[in-house]
Structure 1
Amino acid sequence: MAAYQPQRAAVLQSPPIDVTIPYETAWVADKVVLITGGASGFGAGFVRHWAKHGATVIIGDINVNKGDALCRDINNQVTGTNKAHFVHCDVTNWQSQVNLFKEAVKLSPHGGLDCVVANAGIAGSDVMQEGKKLDAAEPPPPDFKIIDVNLTGVLYTTHLAYFWLPRNPGSSSSSIDAKPSSPRDRHLLLLGSVASLCPIAIQPQYGAAKHAVLGLFRSLRATSGLQGIRINLLCPYFIDTPIVTTPARFALAGGATGQVQHVVDAATRFVSDSRILGRALVVGPKMHLRQTSTGEWELTTPGATGSIEAAVFEPYADDWEDQDLWNRNFVRLLNGVQSARGWVGWAQDIVRAVLYGFGFGR
């Protein structure tokens, strides 16, 4: 922790998460959460769990039947004043998302949003590597629906979240010194995937979109403190939900999939604890393992010395201290070049920029 202190003001990230330490689910109570794509899968698991613990949840989803049925079921079970609300939303349509956020603010008991979860996502047959009818005189454009939902939809959600979250009444700028029990918050939770970190050979669109979500997260967490917003990222492995198609299940046969309950647990840690800023968690199958002296993990048998049972890991646990060593070295080299060129080099570049602005050198 000592090494972290001098960087606090600049980094605006909290220290690594010790996922073995319990958190208080009660901290979810009285929060207002907007979630896209919450009608099924682990999104529905989020909604049920958070509503159970006192949150008001607004679901934006394209599936009216599932979304409405989920909210009716939840509202028949909750005993507090909190409710689950469904609003039809096509995340690929900008105006549809605008309407979702405006309606969510109206439905909020206190007129604001404490948390936005960009959860909507799809997978499926990918046309990227197909070449059907491309030799035609006017070949039809490819279907990039996976990109539209998993990236463009997330960008729309993020853009709107950065407008509405700072306007949450009673909230203050997020900070690693915040009190975790404070009900008002400004939190954006992005849903990445293990595909944010690893290649998915037969799903190039999905992999590209989820890599982009990781890039979005890492860029925004460097500046989100300026808006007083905390941003975190969840990267589930293949989880046993309908998004894992039959062919994918054949491909995964013999291995193991993650469980919805562990994804819900990891997300709830983020949503409930307002001290967590700029962190990412990967959720996979539950395993017995231990860490070696080199920092690598190895599988063990239950009860082995030094072993733990875990399904949640932090992929960038040390990035607050040793983030992107190559990038830092490269930037140091660039700074060295700038220093060597000095003011003369700066003046030369300014003159070139002015001339370029007038059309010279283009």
Structure 2
Amino acid sequence: MAFSVSARAALMTGAANGISAAVAEQMLKKGLSSLVAMDLNPKIVEVAEVWQSKYPNTHIIPVVGDVTDAKAMKEAFSTPLAQPLSIIGNCAGIGGMDWEKTLAVDLNAVIMGTSLGLERMKAEKSDGVIVNISSMAGLAPMAFDPAYTAAKHGVVGYSRCFQHLAAKRGIRVNCLCPAFVDTPLVQGLLNDPKLGAAGKQAIDTLGGMIPMKIVSGAFMDLIENQEHNGSVLTVTNQGGVMPMKFPFDPPPFKK
């Protein structure tokens, strides 16, 4: 049985653009009841206004906030909603040479968002699904940005630790590892004077940018397909969307 997003409440970080915005729009088209859309970029307010006009039956709450700020995150995850919060996308991300900021956004904020989401689902006795965005750099080294690689490896390992919650509480935690997608993050990489050339070479080696439709579709599959529990989906131009197999996968938990 599929997990339906219709009449559900969701919270998405990094929702002003990129993968998060594309997934949010897909959920809105499918009848999402409430959406908390968080981003550090004030543009999220305008984006939410556009969505609200297109999807008047959905309650859309824009939140301008920093995912590395514990107070801002707690406030976002405490937003009053008519339904239990049951879909969370930890999607905010950066790259670059500032390793402390990269770890704060790309790993620490994902852990915080997952923890806050699990706490709220427990308090509301809600089933649900959390999808954390990693990267192919979470499975293989990206030598020109080692801090980003470390953070994304951490997201993969962290996201695989919650399979037991599906049997106990009806909550799944999954992870998406796309290669390069045409997002502001990747455009920022290409425009970086120190990393741009290496980034372009990596993108060319992997066959160019992946269409957003494929990546957002894989994200939706992690939400809707209840067979995905602790799953890590890779998205590349060469292989398409594929589940990652690990040498030490834990046995499935049973009720």
Q: TM-score range by the shorter chain?
A: 0.7 to 0.9
**8 Å contact from structure 2 (residues 135, 177) kept in 1:** yes
1:342 paired residue number: none
Q: Given that residues 19 and 91 in structure 2 are in contact (C-alpha distance below 8 angstroms), is that contact kept between their aligned partners in structure 1?
A: no
Provide Cα deviations, 1:126-181, integer angstroms capped at 9, x if missing partner: 15xxxxxxxxxxxxxxx511011011111111111110112335x4xxxxxxxxxx
* Structure 2 residue 25 is the aligned partner of structure 1 residue 48: yes
Q: CA deviation at 1:99?
A: 0.5
> Partner residue of 2:71?
95
Within 1, Cα distance between the matches of 2:218 and 2:67?
24
Aligned equivalent of 1:220:
162
Shift of 1:224: 5.9
State the partner residue of 2:89: 117
Is contact 1:151-1:212 (8 Å) kept?
yes
Indicate which of 220, 226, 240 corresponds to 1:311.
Answer: 240
Counterpart CA distance in 2 for 1:279 and 1:315 is: 8
Aligned residue for 1:149, secondary structure, equals helix
1:249 is matched with 200
> Match of 1:67, as an amino acid?
I
Displacement of 1:75 after TM fit?
Answer: 1.1
- Whether the 8 Å contact between 2:160 and 2:231 is mirrored in structure 1 is no
Show the counterpart of 2:176: 234
- Aligned 1:326-337 pairs, distance under 5 A: none
Q: Which of these residues, 50, 64, 77, is aligned with residue 73 of structure 1? A: 50
TM-score norm. by structure 2 comes to 0.85
Match of 1:270 among 199, 202, 222: 222
The structure number with the bigger radius of gyration is 1
Structure 1 counterpart of 2:128: 186
| Partner residue of 2:140 out of 167, 179, 198 | 198
Q: Which residue of 2 aligns with 1:209?
A: 151
Deviation at 1:251, TM superposition (A): 4.5
C-alpha distance in 2 between matches for 1:49 and 1:228: 23
Q: 2:38 corresponds to which letter in structure 1?
A: G
Matched, 1:324 2:248: yes
Change (3 A) 1:269 1:42: same
Cα displacement (A) at 1:30: 1.1
Q: For the aligned residues, what is the CA RMSD? A: 2.4
1:166–1:229 CA contact under 8 A, matched in 2: no
2:210 to 254, 258, 262: 258
Amino acid at match of 2:85: L
Give the total of aligned pairs. Answer: 240
Cα distance, 1:311 vs. partner?
1.9
Match in the other structure for 1:30: 7
Normalised by the length of structure 1, the TM-score is 0.61
1:88 Cα deviation from its structure 2 partner = 1.6
CA contact (8 A) 2:177 2:234 kept: yes
Question: Alignment partner of 1:27: what SS?
Answer: coil
| 1:200 alignment partner AA | M
Corresponding residue of 1:154: 110
1:58 aligns with 2:42: no
- Contact 1:196 1:235 survives alignment (8 Å): yes
Q: Distance in 2 between matches of 1:63 and 1:92?
A: 14
- Residues 250, 278 of structure 1: CA spacing in aligned structure 2 closer, same or farther, 3 A cutoff? closer
* 2-structure distance, mates of 1:274, 1:94: 30
Residues 276 and 218 of structure 1: CA distance in aligned 2, closer, same or farther (over 3 Å)? closer
Give unpaired runs (5+ residues) of structure 1: 1-22, 128-142, 172-184, 288-309, 329-362
Give the Å deviation of 1:57: 1.7
For residues 235 and 202 of structure 2, what CA distance do their matches in structure 1 show? 19
> Cα offset for 1:252?
2.5
Matched with 2:193 is none
